[in-house]
């Protein structure tokens, strides 16, 4: 097990009066693509910030790659092992040149000087931004900025990459590019944890963790979770369009064989229906 947490509770208040996380259990395997889904304030960011010790464990147990997250001497190791990209890349940039931005992170983690240029090139290639080393981050589009922020994380060669709503501020094209890179990194063996509001982005995950009010409401395959209307309602989320259509059609007396999750599956189900008429 790469990440194993038991009974994690957390409060931002000094007196612990309101809990941002309540008795959360979590299991993430090496190489999994995990989507964490939940409405605003459900505790998604609070949970993942425990994985690389951005937040200190208050209650419960957490081991990441066998390391006890309470172990203060291992914090820097955890930070490098578990890279994190956030929603707003502008808030993450410290340099005015892309390659310096990536070098900054490497220097912070005491990467040998002669390795730095190669690491920068490799990271830019992974996010398909090889020609952008000399550019200023503020001249880039939202999607490009997000890919540079990701390159900064990838240069540190993390095992686990956490994407915290990285697509929230992007247009559909930018979103698609970033989602494709997430899947490419997963294909290359990385463990991916993607926090999202977009239920559609959870469809292709190996596992979905559904959060609500600081608790894990459900955890399982995307099909089981996303097609469960009651569960989605409880989580205050709108199911993917094909799922809604499936249930609406059922109410109207039209029964598709299976509940589709994607547009392609929906087309297939409707095609099957047509052949019966």
Ligand X SMILES: Nc1ncnc2c1ncn2[C@@H]1O[C@H](COP(=O)(O)OP(=O)(O)OP(=O)(O)O)[C@@H](O)[C@H]1O
Residues that bind ligand X (CB under 6 A): 12, 20, 38, 40-46
Query: Nearer to ligand X by C-beta: 40 or 91?
Result: 40
Query: Nearer to ligand X by C-beta: 196 or 227?
Result: 196
User: H-type helices in the chain, by residue range?
Assistant: 44-51, 75-81, 98-108, 116-126, 142-154, 172-187, 199-202, 222-226, 229-234, 241-251, 263-276
Query: Nearer to Mg ion by C-beta: 45 or 92?
Result: 45
Q: How far apart are CA 129 and CA 124, in angstroms?
A: 5
Q: How far apart are CA 68 and CA 3, in angstroms?
A: 10
Site for Mg ion in 9-68 (CB under 5 A): 45
Q: Which does 38 bind (CB under 5 to 8 A by kind): ligand X, Mg ion, none?
A: ligand X
Q: Least distance from C-beta 178 to ligand X, angstroms?
A: 17
- Adjacent-strand bridge partners of 164: 195
Q: Least distance from C-beta 13 to ligand X, angstroms?
A: 7
Q: Least distance from C-beta 35 to ligand X, angstroms?
A: 13
Report the SS3 class of residue 85: strand
Query: Nearer to ligand X by C-beta: 77 or 86?
Result: 86
Q: Which does 28 bind (CB under 5 to 8 A by kind): Mg ion, ligand X, none?
A: none
Q: How far apart are CA 25 and CA 267, in angstroms?
A: 37
Q: Which does 60 bind (CB under 5 to 8 A by kind): Mg ion, ligand X, none?
A: none
Q: Least distance from C-beta 44 to Mg ion, angstroms?
A: 5
Report the SS3 class of residue 176: helix
Q: Which two tokens stand for residue 150?
A: 């990701």
Query: Nearer to ligand X by C-beta: 14 or 271?
Result: 14
* Burial (CB count within 10 angstroms: exposed 0-12, middle 13-18, buried 19+), residue 40: exposed
Q: Least distance from C-beta 165 to ligand X, angstroms?
A: 6
Does position 196 interact with Mg ion (CB under 5 A)? The reply is no
> How many other C-beta atoms lie within 10 A of the C-beta of residue 160?
24
Which stretches of the chain bind Mg ion, using CB under 5 A? 45
């Amino acid at each position: 097990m790469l990440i194993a947490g038991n009974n994690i509770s957390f409060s931002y208040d000094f007196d612990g009066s309101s809990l941002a996380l309540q008795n959360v259990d979590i299991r993430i395997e090496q190489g999994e693509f995990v989507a964490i889904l939940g409405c605003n304030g459900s505790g998604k960011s609070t949970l993942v910030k425990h994985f690389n010790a951005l937040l200190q464990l208050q209650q419960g147990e957490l081991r990441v790659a066998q390391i006890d997250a309470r172990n203060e001497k291992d914090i820097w190791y955890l930070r490098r092992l578990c890279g994190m990209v956030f929603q707003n890349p502008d808030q993450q940039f410290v340099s005015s040149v892309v390659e310096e931005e990536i070098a900054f992170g490497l220097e912070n983690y005491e990467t040998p000087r002669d390795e730095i240029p190669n690491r920068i090139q490799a990271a830019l290639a992974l996010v398909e931004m090889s020609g952008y080393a000399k550019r200023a981050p503020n001249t880039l589009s939202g999607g490009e900025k997000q890919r540079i922020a990701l390159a900064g994380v990838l240069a540190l060669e993390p095992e686990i990459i956490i994407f915290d709503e990285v697509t929230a501020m992007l247009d559909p094209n930018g979103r698609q590019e970033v989602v494709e890179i997430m899947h490419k990194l997963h294909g290359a063996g990385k463990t991916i944890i993607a926090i999202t509001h977009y239920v559609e982005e959870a469809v292709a995950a190996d596992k979905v963790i559904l959060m609500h009010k600081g608790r894990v409401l459900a955890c399982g395959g995307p099909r089981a979770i996303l097609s469960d209307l009651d569960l989605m309602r409880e989580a205050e989320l709108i199911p993917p369009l094909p799922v809604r259509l499936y249930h609406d059609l059922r109410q109207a007396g039209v029964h598709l064989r299976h509940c589709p999750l994607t547009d392609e599956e929906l087309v297939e189900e409707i095609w099957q229906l047509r052949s019966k008429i």
